[in-house]
Structure 1
Amino acid sequence: MTDTRTDASGTAADPTGRIVLLTTSHRVAPGLLSFAAWETLRAADRVLCADPAHPQLPYLREAGIAVEDVRPDAQELVDACAGGRTVVVVPSGEGDQRLTDGLARLAGSGRVSMPDLELLPGSYDLPGARLLDVVQVMDRVRRECPWTSQQTHEGLTKYAIEEAYELVEAIEEGDRDALREELGDVLLQVVFHARIAEEDAEEPWSVDDVAGDLVAKLVHRHPHVFGDATAKTPEDVHAHWQATKAVEKQRESVTDGIPLGQPALALAAKLAARVRGGDVPVELPAGEGIGYELLALAARAEAEGVDPETALRAAARAYRDAIRVAEGVKE
């Protein structure tokens, strides 16, 4: 007699059965599964999971789902579907390559009547979810790597500067592959320093605190996005930003907060920008020598909307190319 069992949707089930591989993301809180996943689990004849430590198991059992601690091979799984049964397999986070390869071999052999095979994502990663992996990997590297475990904020300073310059170079070269890589290297510096900060005996903080501060700052400084303020032009946005910063920082001088250790041209341009934006009645200092000439050029560039560092780097790259041509170097 033909089995006429029905699935959760009320349609007749395939007599060869159905295998559902239910994948879940370890980056999403366990128990938060899609509606389709819960419906499939409740309608299944058997639910199998070979990983007794799988984070979803307590929540499945709390919901009344009977989960068997079984790791079948491909043939055993096909046999379990006989008579139109539905078997759900909940693989570990690493998946079950042995099982999927075995099912592929059976399907390709042409000698086995295969059940329907479905891959059902029970939960999905949200945008930015891989950042959780970065934090986890950094934590392990910090604990287990002999070099990484000894690093300090001070010892890593030079790397932060180097990575920032390499990022700028990738942008200016228009190399998108390098840009992606260098952004990762800059992110590493952020996560690395935050991980070190967790170990501070007196005032520890983590990457979550860094991210939380950043979120609060972005929301506070964008009242035209998150509040009632209005900004129709980039100039309006800049005005909001500067006004909010002024209230936050309570600076005595427009020069407060400008790092003096940055490249000299950038420093000169930043000072000129603060003077212009703050409407400070001060003229460029009079003096003789190349330093004062460069200061005047940097202030002029800033007033004309040109970043002097970027402009000089572009000219320097052209100079470098000319030198290589003169030397007969082939690109």
Structure 2
Amino acid sequence: MGYVRPVNSNSVNPAHPASPAAQASPVDDAGHVILLTTSHRVAPGLLSWTAWRALRDADEVLCADAAHPQLPYVREAGVDVKQAAPTAEELVRACAGGRTVLVIATADGDRPLTDGLARLAGTGRVAMPDLELLPGSYDLPGARLLDLVQVMDRIRAECPWLSRQTHEGLAKYAIEEAYELVEAIEDGERTELREELGDVLLQVVFHARIAEEDPDEPFSVDDVAAAIVDKLIHRHPHVFGDDTAATPEEVKEHWLRTKAEEKRRTSVTEGIPLGQPGLALAAKLASRVRTAGLDVPLPQGEGVGYALLAMAVRAESEGVDPEAALRAAARAYRDAVRAAEA
């Protein structure tokens, strides 16, 4: 927000000439208030050049919070910061004579002060200083993830239930949350999708927090994030390197090639989790076989299992996810059951 100059009784109005008293105290002499806001999710001291310049140029710098994370860095830069929580009236008086007073906003936003300034401006009886809201730092995309990590740290330390959980004990919840996410996607419910994504993210952060406590091989959520960043960059040389890819097929080729170089597997079946649902397992095996260009005949046998295997392999070859297709059919069956019960 730039300068805001509210209309007040001392403003010059051509239709109503100002009184001699008003002319003696023009609005320009009312000064300037700067409310400097910062984000606690950005490292203290990382302020914009505009913010640093305002801090240095102000006639007076105030902050009500003695523990504000920016204060040590601002003072180290040679800025004199006074701990004070002025009222709106006191702040207006401090600006008299054309002075600039900068207020470093506290975490709660100094609501009483801003409300008081708005109230004074609304009376029209006070020569108000120019009011400026100056963001000194902004949240970067993903900044709220820092809040999640901090909350998880505290819960892990203080919650009687969460503090005792292990990777093994939480494994079933990861599976449940993944299925609930898939259901939200299939339902097309945006609110549920956001919630379920959060639940899946919670599982990742929770497991990473537990992993920090391992006595032999500890790692943190930062290590998890760093590993996936490195993987993404390495597997997208057409984005971060000199390779080119103009089609989804070429992108997939890059991915499979770099993945094979990383894993150095001796079989195309390595890395396929056998615990996944049967149709998904069959489709994944068929995908690996087809991508590798292998000619592997389907095993012959009697019973529903072999018939389902053949159908899953055929679906995969036609670009259909057999697991998703069966779920869609099952949902239609569920709706038919509900209709019959009505």
Residue type matched to 1:321 in 2? D
* CA–CA distance in structure 2, aligned partners of residues 79 and 102 of structure 1: 13
State the 1:60 CA deviation. Answer: 1.2
1:271 maps onto 2:299 in alignment: no
Point out where structure 1 has 5 or more consecutive residues left out of the alignment: 5-12
Q: What residue number does 1:54 align with?
A: 68
Q: What residue number does 2:222 align with?
A: 208
How far does the alpha carbon of each residue in 1:120-170 deviate from its partner, in whole angstroms, 9 at most, with x for none?
A: 100111111111111111111111111111111111111111111111111
What secondary structure does 1:48 align onto?
A: strand
1:110 maps onto 2:132 in alignment: no
Q: What residue number does 1:180 align with?
A: 194
Q: What residue number does 1:9 align with?
A: none
State the 1:93 CA deviation. Answer: 2.3
Q: What residue number does 2:213 align with?
A: 199
1:131 maps onto 2:145 in alignment: yes
Quick one: which of 37, 52, 63 aligns to 2:77?
A: 63
Q: What residue number does 1:45 align with?
A: 59
Q: What residue number does 1:307 align with?
A: 321
What secondary structure does 1:14 align onto?
A: helix
* CA–CA distance in structure 2, aligned partners of residues 236 and 75 of structure 1: 67
1:88 maps onto 2:102 in alignment: yes
Residues 241-256 of structure 1: pairs in structure 2 closer than 5 A: 241-256=255-270
Q: What residue number does 2:184 align with?
A: 170
* CA–CA distance in structure 1, aligned partners of residues 165 and 310 of structure 2: 41
How far does the alpha carbon of each residue in 1:188-233 deviate from its partner, in whole angstroms, 9 at most, with x for none?
A: 1100000010111111110000000001000111111111112111
Quick one: which of 156, 163, 170 aligns to 1:149?
A: 163
State the 1:19 CA deviation. Answer: 1.2
Whether contact under 8 Å (1:20, 1:88) holds in the other structure is: yes
Quick one: which of 242, 254, 257 aligns to 2:271?
A: 257
What secondary structure does 1:261 align onto?
A: coil
* CA–CA distance in structure 2, aligned partners of residues 57 and 193 of structure 1: 35
* CA–CA distance in structure 2, aligned partners of residues 2 and 61 of structure 1: 37
1:17 maps onto 2:31 in alignment: yes
State the 1:14 CA deviation. Answer: 2.2
1:140 maps onto 2:154 in alignment: yes
Aligned residues between the structures = 320
- Structure of higher RCO (CA pairs closer than 8 Å, 6+ residues apart): 2
* CA–CA distance in structure 2, aligned partners of residues 165 and 151 of structure 1: 21
Q: What residue number does 2:19 align with?
A: none
Residue type matched to 1:72 in 2? P
* CA–CA distance in structure 2, aligned partners of residues 14 and 268 of structure 1: 77
How far does the alpha carbon of each residue in 1:264-312 deviate from its partner, in whole angstroms, 9 at most, with x for none?
A: 1100100111111112221110001000000000000000000001101
* CA–CA distance in structure 2, aligned partners of residues 2 and 321 of structure 1: 79
Q: Percent identity?
A: 74
* CA–CA distance in structure 2, aligned partners of residues 36 and 44 of structure 1: 12
Quick one: which of 209, 217, 232 aligns to 2:246?
A: 232
* CA–CA distance in structure 1, aligned partners of residues 250 and 154 of structure 2: 45
* CA–CA distance in structure 2, aligned partners of residues 253 and 82 of structure 1: 79
* CA–CA distance in structure 1, aligned partners of residues 257 and 53 of structure 2: 53
* CA–CA distance in structure 1, aligned partners of residues 148 and 92 of structure 2: 38
Point out where structure 2 has 5 or more consecutive residues left out of the alignment: 1-22
Whether contact under 8 Å (1:3, 1:84) holds in the other structure is: no
Which consecutive aligned stretches of 4+ in structure 1 deviate over 3 angstroms post-superposition?
1-4
CA RMSD of aligned residues (A): 1.5
Quick one: which of 299, 317, 322 aligns to 1:285?
A: 299
* CA–CA distance in structure 2, aligned partners of residues 307 and 116 of structure 1: 62
* CA–CA distance in structure 2, aligned partners of residues 22 and 158 of structure 1: 47
1:218 maps onto 2:232 in alignment: yes
